[in-house]
Structure 1
Amino acid sequence: MDRKAKAVWQGTGKDGTGHLTTDSAVLSATPYSFKTRFENEKGTNPEELIAAAHAGCFTMALAFQLQGAGFTPTELATEAAVSLDKDGDGFKISKSRLTLRASVPGIDQAKFEELARAAEKNCPVSKVLNAEISMDFTLV
């Protein structure tokens, strides 16, 4: 299975602009630029998209872990915070911090943590990130 996205950029790195489009059209000429990446201009940036991908991937992986163990979550809500840090002359994504709030009837804290850690380790986005991954969770 292949998934595709396309980036188009015009101009210099600092003053230019670009847009991103995905085959599904969820992103359709979505703007990105130096200002959307390093300042707070409206638009997206690669790190925000990686954070969304990590949150979504981990949460779905956890849903499958729970299902396999006989549990049905009422809600799994995950935020991923991706850190972009200076690395020599460039930058690198150094961390992805997952913060999970979960409501899962009938599960105890130890079993939930076991399944959440398995999902954290085994979701495909976690596996592709060359970064420190951490997870905090609250089971309600």
Structure 2
Amino acid sequence: MKYRRKGVSIIDTKKGILVCAIGDTYILPGGGARPWESRKRAAIRELFEETGLNTKKIKYLFKDVGIKWHDYKGRLVRNYSKVFLVDAVGIPRPSHEIRKIGYFNKKSKIKIGEGSKKIIEKYWNEFK
């Protein structure tokens, strides 16, 4: 099994938590850390690559061990994420592999990926 180090950003706004659509599913911004890169740095880089937002402040919240999944090569993968609360500046615009930007709150009807949903619920239950 491949162990994937990942940085994940939570941007909590008045509209809800910023999420990014890949296909028809929304996920939190973030991605894999390069071998020489911290997960904090990966979260900052991925947020900019996916949304164009610049990080103003970043605060570590918690670690998350994701579910097992298969990558495009058929390998079994598990994400080991560090989750950060980010104060970001700019206007979010989809870029890279992102189709749309959305906002998730407790009344939202949008489809959220299981891993992101688990992280958001932990944030709401333990940090709000």
Same topology, TM > 0.5:
no
Name the one with the larger helix percent: 1
Where relative contact order (Cα < 8 A, 6+ residues apart) is larger, the structure is: 2
Higher-Rg member (1/2): 1
- Return the structure number with greater strand share: 2
